[in-house]
């Protein structure tokens, strides 16, 4: 029960970090640093996907191609 609550909190935090409601005010690594500037957003996406996977929500089917397409 406690683990599920912590996963939900972590997922909400990472979703808010990705949405960035402060328009860049809250940044762990500034985006203008070359190469490593976007690593914090990539990490937040990875954490969010892991939290969704914990609750058996798989969004991978969105990116799969249909075999009926030419």
Q: Is 21 helix (H, G, I), strand (E, B) or coil?
A: coil
What is the residue extent of each domain of the chain? 2-21+34-60
| Total-model pTM | 0.75
- Pinpoint the alpha helices (H) of 1-70: 2-19, 39-54
Q: Is 14 left (phi over 0), alpha (psi -120 to 50) or beta?
A: alpha
Q: Which two tokens stand for residue 2?
A: 């406690």
- pLDDT value at position 18? 86
> Alpha-carbon distance 14 to 26, whole Å?
12
pLDDT, tens only, 12-49: 999 988 887 666 666 777 777 887 878 888 898 999 99
**What average pLDDT does the segment 61-65 reach?**
73
- pLDDT value at position 22? 61
- pLDDT value at position 23? 65
């Amino acid at each position: 029960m406690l683990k599920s609550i912590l996963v939900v909190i972590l997922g909400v935090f990472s979703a808010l970090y990705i949405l960035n409601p402060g328009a860049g005010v809250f940044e762990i690594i500034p985006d203008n640093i070359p190469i490593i500037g976007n690593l914090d957003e990539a990490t937040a996406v990875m954490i969010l996907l892991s939290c969704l996977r914990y609750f058996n929500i798989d969004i991978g089917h969105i990116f799969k191609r249909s075999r009926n397409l030419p």
